[in-house]
Amino acid sequence: MDQLLVHTVNMSITASYVILFVLVTRLLLRKVPKIFSYVLWLVVLFRLVCPFSFESVFSLVPIDAQNTPMDRIYYSQTPQTPLTPSEITSTDQAVNNINPEPISAAPMTTISTNSIDKWFDLGQYIWILGIVILLTYCLVTTARLHLRLRSAEHVFDNVYESSSITTPFVFGVLRPKIYLPIGLYEKERAYIIKHEQVHIKRLDHNIKPFAFFVLCVHWFNPLVWVAFFLMSEDMEKSCDETVIRQMGSEIKKDYSTSLLSLSTGRRFIGGSPLAFGESNTRGRIMNILNYKKPAFWVVIVAITVVVALGVGLMSNPKKHQITVEDYANQYIEQVITGHEQHDVKIVDRKITKLEKIAEFDELFSSPMEIWALEYRLKPDDPSKAIVPEGMTADGLITEDGSMGKPMLVFSYKGSTPQFLGVIRSGENDLTKKAGQEMALRVFLEANGQLPHETYSGNHMLVKFPLTTGETSQLLLSQPVVQGDLGIWCVERWKDTNGNEYYNTPQTDDSIADYYDRLQQQAAQGEDRSLLDPLQVAMKYISNDIGMGKHISLDQLVVDDTATAKDFAITPESTLLGYVLNLSMDNDSFDFDNIEWLTLEDSARFKSLNINPDEDMPNGFYILNKYTYTDPLQVAGETKYGILDNQNLDSPKVVSKQDFIEHFKQYSDFMPPCTITTRDGYVTSITEIYVP
């Protein structure tokens, strides 16, 4: 519905330009037959109902006529001007709660999206309400008129007489009928019937109701109201002229007298728009009395003008075909603007490389390409330039920092490139097709254009602890064949801070070809371990994540019915340690991680040189593994628990202030705490009982 309103406003804006052209042309053509100005109103009608048109170099419509001033925040599939680059800042293929922001050329006034949406929604409701009111008015008045005409008497053909009307008109869309008031003279009747028959022959009885419906849709535009009334006037005048031309100029006086005697001075707004008859009697009489059959050359000139204006007003201007180089220059302009905001004036620039390095046809809904961009900027004073991305030996600014060079991402609609944003060459191995494909997937997922699921079908969720004690999780999928005969792969994994890491196969082939080959090998019995998801998970955790021998199969928590939505939930980690420097003035604190060993951990005693008889008199041992502390952060939703002396098994939930005050009582010994973390924040802190 919201896009419908945007399209309607766009059409109304374009039609407004056309209406203004027609108004001026109508004045210039005031001495030629009104059929020509009437035809021009049909061009307006076309612009009000058709959201697209053909392009022409002869178009009279401004190129920005359809730039709606009511932008709602969409991802545009057909941008007409270069978009602002969007960058993804990630390391090692991680997506850390990515929310790409545009690089702004200048400070921008920020307007709340929610506020814009509320006003936009209100506008939609008002627009729909206006349409409903006008259509209801039309239906009610039409129904009332239909009831009044039920007593009309048939005269001949489609002509009827009624004592309940005072002016003749045509009523009906599919089977139009001519209704006359009782008491007309024969001569008057002949003129009026001829007039109404001309209306029917030209299909005016269809055009005007349709025009009224269009008016209902564009009711918010005052120029459309003007156009509707003037079109109705030109319709009547051109019909009068046709009657005069067919029946002879000698009837002008009698015809005018008939109009005057039948006039009621009312427009359609007092009745049904599906019935129309005499209106603007004075103007019509003046037009009839002044009407002269135009000379042949006048008709030819008028036709030429109307045809030329029709083509010019119905067509859209030819747009400049935006190229990849245009987008590259626009990106560089953004970079230059950023330097100039830091008082670094750029006096020259040059693109040194703009090369397509990859293209994919099946990854997205439209073909996609990656283009490598390299450029040089010359500052007026190199000493002023602060460029973390580097500078060449000859004092030129380039963009080649730790994240690598910019790579422009495009989709295509037909042959037209659509700029989507920027990725960095350092984020993936873009020299290989698999790395290029994964870089695009990360980009599209971050922008909400692809789901966070590479392979649909069977999934398995495997949670495992890191050596720091934090919990992470793998999402395993079957990329080729589903079921017992299908191989498994690690699609991606996520840590407790919500960072998402993508598994890029080390291959020169496409990712699909790589897994197809592994599937064939497994089917031939070469590597059957790929059919066991737990073996695949253990191998990935040990080798790719680098856990080595610090992970065992019994430490894995497996959910073999999980979905991609389950993986989207960040795993919660439980850690043991000492809470240091927690205060009411700061949300951050220092955490000293510990390991709580009991007599059951005999395998650890030998490696740590711990003597249980001497070092564990109370049956436990607190091991400080690290000489440093980790900075952690609490939030407003963090829960705090302290020991309840009445019930040590059930900690007492307290406020942050009470938790801090409770720990002030400890001077010689600080009790450890259990903390839980998720998405980079501590969700709970609970005091541990130490015997």
Task: Say what the pLDDT of residue 487 is.
Answer: 97
Task: Say what the pLDDT of residue 97 is.
Answer: 33
Task: Say what the pLDDT of residue 280 is.
Answer: 67
Task: Say what the pLDDT of residue 84 is.
Answer: 34
Q: Per-residue pLDDT for 669 more than 80? A: yes
Task: Say what the pLDDT of residue 91 is.
Answer: 32
DSSP string, 106-161: S------HHHHHHHHHHHHHHHHHHHHHHHHHHHHHHHHHHHHGGGPEEEETTEEE
Lowest mean pLDDT among 49-58, 73-82, 146-155, 438-447: 73-82
Q: How confident is the model at residue 668 (pLDDT cuts 50, 70, 90)?
A: confident
- The structure's pTM equals 0.60
Contact predicate 399/408, CB 8 Å: no
Q: Using CA atoms, how far apart are residues 396 and 348, in angstroms rounded to an integer?
A: 10
Q: Per-residue pLDDT for 1 more than 80? A: no
Q: Per-residue pLDDT for 77 more than 80? A: no
Radius of gyration of the CA atoms of the chain, in A: 39
**Encoded amino acid at 258, one letter:** S
If you average pLDDT over residues 179-194, what whole number do you get?
A: 83
Q: Per-residue pLDDT for 276 more than 60? A: no
Label the pairing between strands 159-162 and 177-181. Answer: parallel
Q: Using CA atoms, how far apart are residues 330 and 82, in angstroms rounded to an integer?
A: 7
Both ends of the chain: CA-CA distance in Å? Answer: 66
Give 587-615 pLDDT, tens digit per residue: 999 999 998 888 887 777 877 888 888 88
Q: How confident is the model at residue 111 (pLDDT cuts 50, 70, 90)?
A: very low
Task: Output phi, psi for 663, to 5 deg.
Answer: -80, -10
If you average pLDDT over residues 507-519, what whole number do you get?
A: 94
Q: Using CA atoms, how far apart are residues 281 and 285, in angstroms rounded to an integer?
A: 6
Q: How confident is the model at residue 318 (pLDDT cuts 50, 70, 90)?
A: confident
Q: How confident is the model at residue 287 (pLDDT cuts 50, 70, 90)?
A: confident
Q: Using CA atoms, how far apart are residues 398 and 390, in angstroms rounded to an integer?
A: 6
| Residues 6 or more apart whose Cβ sits within 8 Å of residue 651 | 641, 642, 643, 644, 686, 687
Label the pairing between strands 557-559 and 573-580. Answer: unpaired
**Mapping DSSP to helix (H, G, I), strand (E, B) and coil, where does residue 214 land?**
helix
If you average pLDDT over residues 647-668, what whole number do you get?
A: 91
Q: For the chain, how are helix, strand and coil distributed in percent, rounded to 5?
A: 40, 25, 35
The secondary element (H helix, E strand) that includes residue 94 is strand 94-96
Label the pairing between strands 406-413 and 368-379. Answer: antiparallel
Label the pairing between strands 169-171 and 159-162. Answer: unpaired
Task: Say what the pLDDT of residue 107 is.
Answer: 34
Contact predicate 455/478, CB 8 Å: yes
Task: Say what the pLDDT of residue 55 is.
Answer: 77
If you average pLDDT over residues 502-524, what whole number do you get?
A: 94
Contact predicate 494/470, CB 8 Å: no
- Indicate the average pLDDT of the chain: 84
Q: Using CA atoms, how far apart are residues 21 and 31, in angstroms rounded to an integer?
A: 17
Percent of the residues in the chain that have a pLDDT greater than 70, as a whole number: 88
Q: Per-residue pLDDT for 584 more than 80? A: yes
**Encoded amino acid at 241, one letter:** E
Task: Say what the pLDDT of residue 66 is.
Answer: 55
Task: Say what the pLDDT of residue 225 is.
Answer: 94
Q: Per-residue pLDDT for 146 more than 90? A: no
If you average pLDDT over residues 306-323, what whole number do you get?
A: 84
DSSP string, 373-430: EEEEEEES-GGG---TT-B-TTS-B---BTTBSEEEEEEEETTEEEEEEEEETTTTTT
Give 363-396 pLDDT, tens digit per residue: 888 999 999 999 999 998 888 777 655 677 778 8
Residues 644, 648, 654, 659, CA torsion sign:
positive
Give 408-427 pLDDT, tens digit per residue: 999 998 888 999 999 998 87
The three-point CA angle 319-324-328 to 5° equals 110
DSSP string, 533-599: HHHHHHHIIIIIS--GGG--GGG-EEETT--HHHHHSPPPEEEEEEEES-BTTBSEEEEEE-EEEET
Task: Say what the pLDDT of residue 600 is.
Answer: 80
Q: Per-residue pLDDT for 479 more than 90? A: yes
Lowest mean pLDDT among 336-350, 520-534, 630-644: 336-350
Q: Using CA atoms, how far apart are residues 213 and 43, in angstroms rounded to an integer?
A: 16
**Mapping DSSP to helix (H, G, I), strand (E, B) and coil, where does residue 277 land?**
strand
| Residues 6 or more apart whose Cβ sits within 8 Å of residue 248 | none
Task: Say what the pLDDT of residue 498 is.
Answer: 93
Q: How far is CA 433 from CA 428, 569, 579, in A?
A: 10, 30, 47
Task: Say what the pLDDT of residue 6 is.
Answer: 82
Q: Per-residue pLDDT for 268 more than 60? A: no
Lowest mean pLDDT among 178-192, 429-443, 659-673: 178-192
